[in-house]
Structure 1
Amino acid sequence: MTRIPYFLLFLTCLSLTAFAQESSARLTGIVVDSVNHSPVVGAYVAVSRNTPDARPEYVTTDINGKFSFNGLSKSVSYWVKITYLSYKDVSKMVTVKEDVQDMGTIPLAEATANLKEVKVTGQVTAVQQKGDTTQFNAAAFKTNPDATSEDLIQKMPGITVANGTVTAHGETVNRVLVDGKPFFGDDASLTLKSLPAEIVDKIEVFDKLSDQAQFTGFDDGSGQKTINIVTKADRKTGQFGKVFAGYGLDARYQAGGNVSFFKGNQRISVIGLSNNINMQNFSSQDLLGVTGSSGGGRGGSGGASNNFLVGNQSGITGTNSFGLNYASKFGKKVDVSGSYFFNRTGNTNLQSTEQEYFLSGNTANQFYNEDSRTSSVNSNHRLNFRVEYNINPKNSLIITPKLSFQENIAASAKAGLTTLADGNRLNSSDNTQTNKNSAYNFTNDMLFRHAFDKKGRTISLNLNTQLNDRNGTRDLYSENLYYSSLSFPDTAMRGDTIDQRSFTSSGGITLGGNFIYTEPISTTGQLQFNYGLTVSNSNSGKETYNMIPDENVYADLDSLLSNTFDNKYVTNRAGLGYRYRKNSWTANFGIDFQNTGLYSQQTAPRNSEVDQSFTNFLPSFMLSYRSRSGTQFRTSFRSSTNQPSISQLQNVIDNSNPLSLTAGNPDLKQEYRNMFNMRYSLAGADRPYNFNAMVFVTQTNNAIVNSTYIAQQPTTLPNGIVLEQGAKLTAPVNVDGSWNARTFLAYGKPVAPLKLNINVTSGFNYVRSPGRINDIANYSNTYAVSQGLVVSSNISEKLDFTVSYSGNYNIVRNSIQPNLNNNYYTQGITGRVNWIFGKGFVFQSDVNNQSYRGLGEGYNRNFTLWNASIGKKFLKNNAGELKLTVFDILKQNNSVNRIVTETYVQDVTNRVLTQYTMLTFTYTLRNFGKMPVRNENENRRRDFNGSRGNFPGSEGRGAGGF
């Protein structure tokens, strides 16, 4: 019943706005290059009345070259002026006669002036707010000649890069585009490392809607935080990149490079990397079998993200990788982009883990210590493809298939010990494992879009397919010791030996479709009707065989550790939405009705069935305000559901660690989430600063969390498995009361007299994590305050330095064990300098001090990692460089990490790379040329009324033809 007010609110808002009328008009157009007809992204468009005292208003073109002005008057003439670096200005008088006056396609011709002779004076505007896009001008942030795009964006306020993860304004960046086109799929870190900073004109940060949502203008909740790199006009044709090779002490080596060939619309990039010094570049789909075995890791809130997650493995990694990216335009109607990436990593790691479990009542807390050595070899092939076919001005088709193959071989040796607070032992285990896994994943989306003659009336149909398959083999040998009872620990013991081989398999197919129809009901209002159907079938099986000693063969089927499981989801979803837009205000209201049927069946070792149905109302709301002065406000609310995975549903024991068993739960229900966020930003040419403030709140009902049972004495589980004293069984359950709230503030300001950029960030996080331990609910409340400061130079290309500070203070409070409440603090202070002096000499150095306080005895650390290099540039245009680098000069490098959950606190240390010295040679390729001059007769055949690219119903990001 609590969801009924959402529906009433929606109907009320719909009735109040459905009859709104607006007499103002809108002016639109598309700006393209006159030679290759590619969109000109980030061009300035000024509109002013045809009067002497008229003050112009500005917008910039989006990633499709499109612009739009609202609030104009009919029957009035306006001057439209379009400007962009290295292009000739275009001015045109336009008389607005219709509600939506379309200027069509406007070509910009290349300027004939030599750019080297142009001297620009004055302060460059660093940041501007263009509608829903935050735009950074690269010219306002000076970097050295060898800097990458990653080096450049780290100078920009609110953007950070840590361990390969890119964050913008408090949110993880999932995609990086180059001139609006994909580059190496969704691998953001790979894109930023591959492109030199010198080709970048602007950096745009925005929430990219799905292709279907961009067309309709209604946010479907599947948007991603995206960075778009706008390249300089005089860098769109040429060859650029670098290759390097180095060798050092302890047989350390590195070799690789990237080379790009740009020629108008055609772009080819090749990358390669081989090293054994922890230079890594992979995403989560490259890590099959590395982050966990096939049967482990159930629970949590939905598992790891399958989107984009780049990060470094612990330990020491050797990497061999190769990638190819291609983008081009075929004729006037077809845009094609695709990439292939191969990654092979070999990793070794020594890890020490300490866990403290919170038990209730008078029961003493348990401690678990584990030392492990692991090694793995992981191979991955990734292919991404995108074809966009503009059939005609009213119809388009987009196809985006993705395919990946993974193989992993891993071996580990672990020694674990469980004790009480007084040090008395409860159990111990020494085990070795080998795992072999292989898998493939395939997805494909097909989106058809059609715009009717009536503005705002559209239909779109999206069909998607997902296929996945995984097979694995695991050998486990474990020697385990158990003590007689918790009442008399450390006095008597018995043991057992496990010698098993397991075969696992899982696979699934998902077919889905979504149909959307939009209809304008006034000059300010638009309705959307949507219906979606998704059918998902998945299966999972595990067969575990014990060794027959006399025969030395794995042939004794262990039915308690074997299982065959099938799962089927059928989801129907229908909804109604309303969109209101007037001047600088936009509002979306929507409500969906969703019915999900879940049917699960276990066929071995015994038959059981689960047949459930879930019915939900899913409301959504969005309100935004955008002023022409650069002020933006946006608030939104959305409800959604999350289904448990097949591994979370499969009720089979995983005994990879006999002291810590895991299992699934076939009775899991879907999660129901309410998400609220609010954003406020200030940026513009008339402000000497920029400011962003954001609030994110997520509340989850039926959250899928871990329930842990720790046996106080040998206990026989319902499936017949004996859980020895002190051993743990963890399985996922549904619990209410999960909250996650975050705030983020970012302030950036250039200090012109000192030639510095100063960026300040602040944040507050609150996480309420429910869980169960020994059937008692525990709520872990974590409060975290963060503060960051970055001071970067803006002096010259020869002297580039950055100093930064980040601090996090964490307060943890637990409901069942107040005595274990904990406060801990972590901070990092970093400094980096790149100095080119004399006749091509280069000095580089970076210092990183990390401090940890409150983590526990033996884990409070304070260490400094210092790397430095000296080099000399030579060859023509300083294309070559020879550099000597010393890593970890102070020999203090180490790794420590704390994880706080609702049931335990965990401290982990990992093996790290120690000091080495390396000599490296780098060759930089820079060969840029002007695009060919177009035939004048052909130029004259095109005018401002050209219709190419003017696709009704697709007005940039989220216009919906309205």
Structure 2
Amino acid sequence: MKLKFYFTLILAAFAATFFAQVVNNRSASGATASTVVPATVRVAVVDSVNNQPIEFASVRLFNSKTNQLTQGAVTSQNGRVELKDVKPGGYYLLMSFTGYNTKRLNLREQNFRRNVIDLGNVKLGASNVMLGAVTVTGKLPEMVVKEDTVEYNAAAFRTPEGAVVEDLIKRLPGVQVDADGKITTAAGKQVTKVRVNGKEFFGDDPKMATKNLTADVVDKVQVIEKKSDLAILTGVDDDEPETIINLTIKKGMMKGWMGNLSAGGGQILNNKNDEDPRYVASSMLNRFTDTEQYSIIGNSNNINERAFTDRGNNVMSGRGGNFGGGGTGGTGITSSSTFGFNMAKEVNKKLKVGGNISYNYGDNYTNSRSFRENIFTDSVSYRRSTSVARSFTHNFSIGGKMEYQMDSVTTFIFTPTFSYNSSLAHNSSYQKSMAGDKDSTAVNESNSASSLSSNGTNLGLQLDFSRRLSAKGRRISFSGSLNLNESNGNGTNNSTNIFYLATGKNTVFNQENANTANRNSYNMRFTYVEPIAKNYFIDFLYNIQFNNTINERETYDYDPVNGTYSDLNANYSRSSSVHSISQNIRVNLRSVHPRYTYNIGMSVSPSYTHNLGYVKDWFGAGMDSVYNEPQPRKTVNYAPQFEFTYRFSGDKMIRKFLRMRYNGRTNQPSITQLDPSQDVTNPLNIRSGNPDLLPSFNHNISLEYNSNNRTSQSSFSTSLTHTFEQNSIVNYTTYEPRTGVQYTKPINENGTWSSQADILFATPLDKQMHFNLNLRTGASYSNLVGYTLLQKQSERNVSHTASVSPNLSISYKNNWFYCQFRGLLRYSSSTYSMEGISPKQSTTYNISYNNQITFPWSFSLSSDITYTANRGLSAGYNQDEVMWNAQLNKAFLRNNAGSLRLQFNDILHQRLNLNRSVTTNSITDTQYTALTSYCMLTISYRFNNMGNRRSGNRSRSGFDPSQMPEGFDRPAGGGFPGGGGFPGGGGRPR
């Protein structure tokens, strides 16, 4: 009933959001006196495409009668500037910056009836200087490093016809995209959102942008460390910034509607076991302007291009539904369909609204094999396993955002979300354990089959409010949110387990189970800023979060007499209820200066946790049996807070930036880690939770430095991070020597820490910027506390793992040819504190080359080839792979609006899907099924209402000719491609 009420509430909120109309206040502002007085002129200079502030822009004030310069200044980091004590009169203001058109504004004497003349945001557009018949533009570097942003120029990384944004991101130095489409930065941070021109794009699902938007519409890719909306409003940091990507759209595509349609079919090559046809169909309609965005997406394929993030079924993982080996996205063979609508609109100067709605379907089949080495100090054992999994998922989501600026000092932001997910999954597996002796004595084996049908709903509401109380910076703000999650699941578990060294221990499971999980969380945050002197502020923050989680599980054994599942098994029917309260009280001194800022303060984080374990209806309907009710756990953590940012002075063409930061945060255990019921999905490795777990507390220290030289177009950045954890949650394992069964549960431990260093350097190698070099090197060292089996008992063991990953990229481009060479080495070495355990090393070599050639008559040829070698893995897994993809494209129709594309995936039939997982007491190597070689013929058609002159400025090869070095002719072609690129493999299950 609660969800129905809240669902009705959210629909009402959306109706208000999408149909809100605000009557503009037409009352004049300012004084009404007829006298004129000297005034302060304020202005902010921003980019016309993405509305980002332009630092170091020149702002000059001229007398309109004499044309003499009266005052001048350059903009600050936020793009703003003030010209003080301007005498009444007639003036014109010129704003300029390298690479942008100069903007002129006129000031008349009657404007000086106010003490402050605020001209608001002035937008500068990119400039082109015409020299004869040749277009000359500022040569753009591949990468620019700013304070919280690494910005890549998309034109410097050419992509094949039909490529999507993900294909572009894969070529960016310092950014990695895994097989499932997850994006991580050089510092190891995962990208959580993708925005378009600074506006929300399908909420917190990055794949809706990276796998659906075509790469050729993108001007810049900005990787940003973004603070929360409330932190931006108040200036008070309230949490770790999240890593997002902002895509800026090319200026010529911001003036109307554009879209593309694409359809293709193909066939598997050289695989008689899979002769199903491959297909892809996609469509997209977009409108991007300065004040509004609309996108309609449709996508369906069976080539593993899942164009959305699978939200799962919301049922607690590992309780009757932990299908080892089941895969999504990057593993196995996947067919999927996606439909969605996204919008963002500035209704007027006070109101901005946005929203999205989407439906996704996925069908995944995965066949995997794995080899696991269990590490003991007195011996070793091995486990081989195979698994086949099939899953079907349906996801529906709706989200919105409304930002209302009531007046110049008050802002409201309202963000509602709702999602529904359902899934059906089946898994069957076989595994066998062997001792580490010379005869590889069999210890046990297991055959199991399980299934799970589940559904879940999630409702989220958040309201942010901020009000400035004085011009000096006094501000009060509030943020409140709730998240309601409900899920239900029904499953089966059938397994036969044979123990060769203890025949009397053989077991057979034939069970049905039902799971219900409810997790409700409520969060409130208050901040207050008090100015105490010029450039000095005291920040107060108080945050409280309530979490209530109930997980109920009922497991019934099969009764052969009645032929039904009617015998309640109490050992596997343990339910739990968890109530926790987390608080954070923080006081900071903040100082803000043109060249440096700093925060210093202290935080106190008390937490309270109360758990209850019971068997539902054990004594009859409504009469539970309580088997565990420990005393409530209370903890208090203290942590200093510190952040220092320094902007080096000097040449305006060289920006240097330094930041040091320390903070701490509490992490509550998950519901799975607290639930004491046993998970027998894998009968040879039985897992359970621990209701006595304490929250862990993370301490994070970081140092960042970056430099950007506009003259040489080179960038350099480096970062050092160190993290250590109190009460870290690690696995404790006990072992039955005769059966080989392992029992694992989480416990609290201290001593876990890690350090990481990253260096990133980019520079052109010649004045014409044909050649570009990018170097990135990452190194890390971790001290991971765990438990290793010693003489069949768990003993504390610390693994020390060092890794290094140098990455080199060199590219060359001219008006008809582009190529990029990349080399990557990943080396990892692990040693252990316990004697008798030998060190483990592994190395991965990766060398890739891609190119693109534009021919006359609107032909283009693209190719990429990647060599991967694995060393140090288990026997049979040290395999080499050469992946070669190629495509030939022919553009046709007026303005090359159509294209015919023939592509070959995995020409050499060598695709592998290998993964290594290392813990303190085991090493597991796994190989998954992969879609073998296939060819596909695709036809695409793009359209727009921006006129031929705009379409003609676009190249079919996916780059903007206006960004080419001066003196080069433009290649033939133009327009908008249809979507696809080089897929990552996959297909619909047979």
TM-score of the aligned structures, taking structure 2 as reference length: 0.82
Residues of 2 paired with 1:121 and 1:140: CA distance? 14
Gaps of 5+ in 1: 1-24, 299-309, 486-491, 714-724, 932-962
Deviation of residue 571 (structure 1)?
2.5
* Post-superposition CA distance 1:478-508 (Å, at most 9, x none): 11111235xxxxxx67633110011111112
- Matching residue within 523, 526, 533 for 2:544: 533
2:805 maps to: 786
2:584 maps to: 573
Deviation of residue 509 (structure 1)?
1.1
Gaps of 5+ in 2: 1-38, 63-67, 268-274, 616-624, 950-990
1:771 maps to: 786
Aligned 1:304-343 pairs, distance under 5 A: 312-343=329-360
Residues of 2 paired with 1:157 and 1:501: CA distance? 50
Deviation of residue 388 (structure 1)?
0.5
Name the SS for the 1:190 alignment partner. helix
Aligned 1:172-191 pairs, distance under 5 A: 172-191=190-209
**Bigger mean CA deviation after superposition, 666-675 or 184-193:** 184-193
AA aligned to 1:441 is N
Rate the CA distance shift 1:734–1:92 in 2: closer, same or farther, 3 A.
farther
Residues of 1 paired with 2:627 and 2:456: CA distance? 28
Size of the aligned set, in residue pairs, is: 865
Deviation of residue 921 (structure 1)?
1.0
* Post-superposition CA distance 1:227-249 (Å, at most 9, x none): 22233443222222322111112
Rate the CA distance shift 1:57–1:86 in 2: closer, same or farther, 3 A.
closer
Name the SS for the 1:560 alignment partner. helix
Rate the CA distance shift 1:113–1:902 in 2: closer, same or farther, 3 A.
closer
* Post-superposition CA distance 1:430-478 (Å, at most 9, x none): 1111111111222221001101133210010000101111111111111
* Counterpart contact for 1:60–1:130, Cα < 8 Å: no
- Matching residue within 171, 183, 187 for 1:166: 183
Q: Does 1:874 align with 2:889?
A: no
1:562 maps to: 573
**Bigger mean CA deviation after superposition, 597-606 or 312-321:** 597-606
2:422 maps to: 407
Q: Does 1:385 align with 2:400?
A: yes
Q: Does 1:270 align with 2:324?
A: no
Name the SS for the 1:376 alignment partner. strand
2:484 maps to: 467
* Counterpart contact for 2:516–2:553, Cα < 8 Å: yes
* Post-superposition CA distance 1:530-564 (Å, at most 9, x none): 22222221101111100001211000000111112
AA aligned to 1:68 is R
Residues of 2 paired with 1:533 and 1:337: CA distance? 28
- Matching residue within 900, 904, 907 for 1:886: 904
Rate the CA distance shift 1:145–1:647 in 2: closer, same or farther, 3 A.
closer
1:956 maps to: none
- Matching residue within 920, 923, 938 for 1:902: 920
**Bigger mean CA deviation after superposition, 247-256 or 231-240:** 231-240
Residues of 1 paired with 2:40 and 2:710: CA distance? 24
Name the SS for the 1:648 alignment partner. helix
Rate the CA distance shift 1:167–1:103 in 2: closer, same or farther, 3 A.
farther
* Counterpart contact for 1:784–1:811, Cα < 8 Å: yes
Q: Does 1:618 align with 2:639?
A: yes
* Post-superposition CA distance 1:800-835 (Å, at most 9, x none): 332211110110112235443111101211222232
Deviation of residue 206 (structure 1)?
2.4
Deviation of residue 755 (structure 1)?
0.8
* Counterpart contact for 2:678–2:688, Cα < 8 Å: yes
AA aligned to 1:391 is M
* Counterpart contact for 1:44–1:82, Cα < 8 Å: no
* Counterpart contact for 2:555–2:572, Cα < 8 Å: yes
**Bigger mean CA deviation after superposition, 812-821 or 639-648:** 812-821
* Post-superposition CA distance 1:571-595 (Å, at most 9, x none): 3332211111222111011212222
Q: Does 1:639 align with 2:656?
A: no
Tell me the percent identity.
28
- Matching residue within 480, 494, 516 for 1:477: 494
Aligned 1:281-430 pairs, distance under 5 A: 281-286=307-312, 312-360=329-377, 362=378, 364-422=379-437, 423-430=440-447
Aligned 1:425-824 pairs, distance under 5 A: 425-485=442-502, 495-604=506-615, 605-610=625-630, 611-627=632-648, 629-713=654-738, 725-752=739-766, 753=768, 755-773=770-788, 774-796=793-815, 798-816=816-834, 818-824=836-842
Residues of 2 paired with 1:829 and 1:365: CA distance? 35
Residues of 2 paired with 1:115 and 1:327: CA distance? 35
Residues of 1 paired with 2:701 and 2:42: CA distance? 32
**Bigger mean CA deviation after superposition, 626-635 or 393-402:** 626-635
Rate the CA distance shift 1:30–1:698 in 2: closer, same or farther, 3 A.
same
AA aligned to 1:473 is N
Q: Does 1:280 align with 2:296?
A: no
* Post-superposition CA distance 1:210-236 (Å, at most 9, x none): 111112212222311222223344322
AA aligned to 1:654 is D
Rate the CA distance shift 1:760–1:517 in 2: closer, same or farther, 3 A.
same
Deviation of residue 416 (structure 1)?
1.0
Aligned 1:199-210 pairs, distance under 5 A: 199-210=217-228
AA aligned to 1:703 is S
* Post-superposition CA distance 1:672-703 (Å, at most 9, x none): 11001111111131233111101121101111
1:943 maps to: none
Deviation of residue 599 (structure 1)?
0.9
Deviation of residue 152 (structure 1)?
4.3
Rate the CA distance shift 1:444–1:30 in 2: closer, same or farther, 3 A.
farther
1:67 maps to: 79
Residues of 1 paired with 2:447 and 2:677: CA distance? 23
1:306 maps to: none
Deviation of residue 189 (structure 1)?
3.5
* Counterpart contact for 2:92–2:104, Cα < 8 Å: no
**Bigger mean CA deviation after superposition, 40-49 or 843-852:** 40-49
Name the SS for the 1:683 alignment partner. strand
* Counterpart contact for 1:80–1:93, Cα < 8 Å: no
TM-score of the aligned structures, taking structure 1 as reference length: 0.84
Residues of 1 paired with 2:140 and 2:594: CA distance? 29
Name the SS for the 2:571 alignment partner. helix
Rate the CA distance shift 1:368–1:290 in 2: closer, same or farther, 3 A.
farther
- Matching residue within 123, 136, 139 for 1:123: 139
Residues of 1 paired with 2:126 and 2:723: CA distance? 51
* Counterpart contact for 2:147–2:706, Cα < 8 Å: no
Residues of 2 paired with 1:694 and 1:598: CA distance? 36
Deviation of residue 111 (structure 1)?
10
* Counterpart contact for 2:50–2:248, Cα < 8 Å: no
Name the SS for the 2:419 alignment partner. strand
Aligned 1:177-256 pairs, distance under 5 A: 177-249=195-267, 250=275, 251-256=277-282
Rate the CA distance shift 1:162–1:653 in 2: closer, same or farther, 3 A.
closer
Name the SS for the 1:222 alignment partner. coil
**Bigger mean CA deviation after superposition, 371-380 or 214-223:** 214-223
Q: Does 1:836 align with 2:854?
A: yes
Rate the CA distance shift 1:92–1:871 in 2: closer, same or farther, 3 A.
same
Residues of 2 paired with 1:852 and 1:439: CA distance? 40
AA aligned to 2:549 is S
Name the SS for the 1:759 alignment partner. strand
AA aligned to 1:81 is M
Name the SS for the 1:511 alignment partner. strand
